[in-house]
Amino acid sequence: MDRIALKYPKLIIYGAYVGIVIGYIGMMIMVFIILKGFITLLTQPDAAPVVTPILPGIPIPGSPIFVPFWHGMIALFVVVVIHEFFHGVVSRAHKIHVKSSGFAMFAFLPAAFVEPDEKELIQRDKKTQLSIFAAGPFSNIILGALVFLIISFILPPIHDAVVEPIGFSFSTLVEDYPAIKSGLEKDVIYNQVDGKRIITNTEFIGALTNLKPKETVMIGNQENTYTIEATENPDNATKGYIGVYIEQRYKDEDKAYFKTMIWIFGLFVWIFILTLGLGLANLLPLGPVDGGRMLLIPLVYKFGEKRGRTIWAKISLFFIVMLIIMVFVPIIKAVLS
């Protein structure tokens, strides 16, 4: 932290000032998401939950998200270390002493901590304090942007150069729909549609884009061909539907190099998801988290120490209650059902 802060002090300080603006924008976005999600929970009981706990390797009842154990553990470690590290870097750039820093485990989850000297911190101007509080979430957002660029522009060419698509299969065949009735099977590799060679998901979707109800399509491979008559799409009666969920299949997908590459790609995806999730969650106006501390400063400035802290406590309690409801109601519903 010292090395980076002393080498690029102006870049870090002015960059952290930008982080203040991004932090307040992120706080407003999160407040909107939470309020909208809470209203949705009350008015649409079957809607997917907006807030869900992240426990790598543990499926959460009612949650649409499952985080693979090692992907989740490594991604969380990377995300929390960067978050805390940049709290420390910005503190040191402002010449504020960091009393301690290190790694920890919260239950079985990886954690990190950086402890700037609070006495020094509260003596600094409001802009300095805000820049330090915003540094963690801002670093997560920057990490998310960098990982997005890697996922979008660096990994795809590597993927395309290494792997060779050989067809498609179906991860799910919807009950009582034409595909399963025709005899198509799950996890079998197919590579023909209407007599044409089709080996990618994109080609398969393109081949069926203009399919209408009651029209037929032939899907097969070198061994079998199945004729399927489409029914109405449940979401659009003018379009045909056969009831499948497709997945891409590749040559050598059982080999170690292929599995390793796919695992690494998945890790980058989970780093992207969790760094944005953690960064934005830390901007919520809650008690001791970064967003809560960023909210307290303008409230005290506007209303005075006592009244500002009272308003801050009420806002924090309001959002804490909403979050508890939003987390546990979907879990309770899922368990009871």
Q: pLDDT tens digits for 254-279?
A: 999 999 999 999 999 999 999 999 99
Task: Provide mean pLDDT across the span 276-288.
Answer: 95
Q: How far apart are CA 292 and CA 281, in angstroms?
A: 11
- Mean pLDDT on 289-314: 97
pLDDT number for residue 108: 87
Nearest in space to 334 (alpha carbons), one of 72, 67, 59: 59
Mean pLDDT of 33-50: 91
Q: What is the pLDDT of residues 95-113, one digit of tens each?
A: 999 999 999 998 889 999 9
pLDDT of residue 291 exceeding 90: yes
Q: What is the pLDDT of residue 300?
A: 97
Interval 151-191: pLDDT, tens: 999 999 999 898 999 999 999 999 999 999 999 999 999 99
Cα separation, 204 vs 246, whole angstroms = 9
pLDDT at position 54 is: 87
Q: Which residues pair with 286 in a beta bridge?
A: none
- pLDDT value at 45 more than 90: no
Dump strand ranges (E) for the chain.
Answer: 98-106, 109-116, 165-173, 192-193, 196-197, 216-220, 225-229, 231-233, 236-241, 244-250
Question: Where do the CATH 2.30.42.10 domains begin and end in the chain?
Answer: 165-250
Q: Does domain 165-250 have CATH number 2.30.42.10?
A: yes
Q: What pLDDT, on a 0 to 100 scale, did the predictor assign at position 70? A: 97
Query: In the prediction, which pLDDT does 64 show?
Result: 83
Residue 333 burial class via C-beta count within 10 angstroms: exposed 0-12, middle 13-18, buried 19 and up: middle
Give the model's pLDDT for residue 48: 85
CB atoms within 10 A of CB 323: 18
Summary mean pLDDT of the chain: 95
Q: Using the predicted structure, report yes or no on whether residue 283 has a pLDDT greater than 90.
A: yes
- The answer to whether the beta carbons of residues 121 and 40 sit under 8 Å apart is no
- pLDDT for res 106: 86
